[in-house]
Chains A and B, each alone.
Chain A
Amino acid sequence: MPIWLYILASVIKSAVLLVVLLTAVAYTVWLERKVVGRMQNRWGPTRVGPFGLLQPAADGIKFLFKEDLTPPHVYKPLYIAAPLIAVIFALTSIAVIPFGNSITIGGYSIPFQVTDVNTGLLLILGVTSIGVYGVALAGWSSNNKYSLLGGLRASAQMVSYEISLGLSLVGVLILSGSFSLRSIVEAQGGHFWGFIPRWNIFLQPIGFFCYLMAAYAETNRIPFDLPEAETELVAGYHTEYSAMKFAMFFMAEYANMVTVACLATLLFFGGWHGPIFGPPILQALLPLFWFAAKIFAFLFLYIWVRGTLPRFRYDQLMAFGWKFLLPLSLMNLIATAIAVAW
């Protein structure tokens, strides 16, 4: 493939992925409002478009046209940089996610992935670990006690749960022997005994549990949303943010949710593997459909949990992370290593 064609393909893929991701983010917000609404015996958004489907567009326009207030006491360079850091790193990590097999156009094989890095998983972990700075610096630069507490809570929580998150993934890495997300998914093709799909969830149920808990904490979602606990901290780290800057934090949170769901699908639920049937065009599109369906299931689970569970207390959160989740993921790792070495 000539270099200019490669660059062109990469640019087109990045643009398409960005549009799809931002649309997914907007409609996850819509879905959340709808589902939580029904769980609480309300309707959720109904006024803008059929079933309130145009509500995300209305919200976006509202965010754009609202007055962008900058309080006088903030530390301005970091106050402006913080939402940018949050949203940029949240959107970057999606670049190494493979969405399906490759398609062949004009003799060239183009994979459904912006770039296939052979340490893709590490790259995602690295980018998400940098994303903490968005929240932490927002809390500090706002120069407000609620914001500062939110930022402190966020950085302590993310550093604590990152360890369990990393350890829960090592089990999968031992089984597949690669950091490349594509090879991890390809190792999960086929079936056990002819009917159970060869997904890592059946080999690593404890690893998956640890991953899920740590992922909820990393994305600051209920029951671990203490950095923005509105009953104690007004709005936590984004108290002083308005208009588009606030929307950036919002986008970053939901983009992180999508990334976490993608990663869970790739590592534990066989990625794009699923029943393939029908004419060739359907066979080409079904992997994408299965991938999207699994991500949807995870996003729904997020919303379901939000509609069900109350918030942890902060000492409970830390005790859970250090005294329960960390030993559990360590034991899972040791057991996996012994089983593989046997």
Chain B
Amino acid sequence: MVSVHLVLFLAFGAVCVAGAVNLLAQTHPINSALSLIAVMAALAGEYLLLGAEFVAAVQVIVYAGAIMVLFVFVIMLLNAGVEDRTKGGRVAILFGLPGMLLGSTLVGWVVLRHSGTEAVAAGALPGDPRTIGQLLFHEFLLPFEITSVLILIAIMGAVVLASKPPTAAAGGRAGKAD
């Protein structure tokens, strides 16, 4: 008997793959960005099927709702037009496709060797907010804090790179045009 879960899993998976392929096939940046949002939303659906409601919600809020809004914002701001379509270099065709196949086979082999082929039952993984909070702020506190410092450094780096050179900013009020 085909369970509802399997049907939903395949449906979300199909949306995910179709969105990813569409991302590459589209020539206009905004269509590619929207395809990526579809991929994110379908991934959130997969998380939901595993019973990880918190991860699914965060996936939608952070990736689909915040990061992709910034992507779309930048595309709109630059008013990026249709891209030129290139056939790709000979190197890309000769090595890219076999390399991709090899890489995905390797990842699949590693994953299957460790976890077996049986599917994870829905809700079998502890995905509720309480468990995630406990893990994040007790067991993985140090990696969590290091990641936050890393992000802070990245933000500061972006500010330094984006700011005007000191000679230009010395006269008037710096950052007035933001």
Contacts and interface: CB of A to CB of B under 8 A. Distances in A.
Interface of A: 78, 117-119, 122-123, 125-127, 129-130, 132-133, 136-137, 139-140, 148, 151-152, 155-156, 158-159, 162, 166, 179, 315, 318
A90 to B, nearest CB: 14
A129 B37 CA distance: 12
A77 to B, nearest CB: 8
Contacts of A155: 69, 72-73, 76
Contact of B69 (A127, A133, A318): A133
Contacts of B79: 148
A119 B57 contact: yes
Interface-centre pick from A130, A148, A151, A152 (highest chain B CB count, 10 A) = A130
B142 to A, nearest CB: 20
Contact of B61 (A118, A126, A136, A152): A126
A181 B34 CA distance: 31
B76 A122 contact: no
A152 B30 contact: no
Contacts of B54: 119, 122, 179
A137 B72 contact: yes
A93 B105 CA distance: 41
A145 to B, nearest CB: 10
A151 B75 CA distance: 12
A159 B58 contact: no
Contacts of A125: 57, 61, 65
A179 B60 contact: no
> Number of contact residues on B: which range applies?
20 to 34
Given A122-B57, A133-B72, 20 more contacts: A122-B54, A122-B58, A122-B61, A125-B61, A126-B57, A126-B65, A129-B60, A129-B69, A130-B65, A132-B65, A132-B69, A133-B69, A137-B72, A139-B76, A140-B72, A148-B76, A152-B73, A159-B66, A179-B54, A318-B178
A133 B37 contact: yes
A56 to B, nearest CB: 31
B96 interface: no
B53 A117 contact: yes
B165 to A, nearest CB: 23
Contact of B76 (A119, A136, A179): A136
| Among A126, A136, A152, residue most surrounded by chain B Cβ atoms (within 10 Å) | A126
Contacts of B58: 122
B72 A129 contact: no
A159 B77 CA distance: 15
A139 B77 CA distance: 11
A133 B69 CA distance: 7
B36 to A, nearest CB: 12
Give 3 closest A-B pairs by Cβ, nearest first: A129-B65, A122-B57, A126-B60
A159 B53 contact: no
Given A130-B64, A140-B30, A140-B76, A123 B57 contact: yes
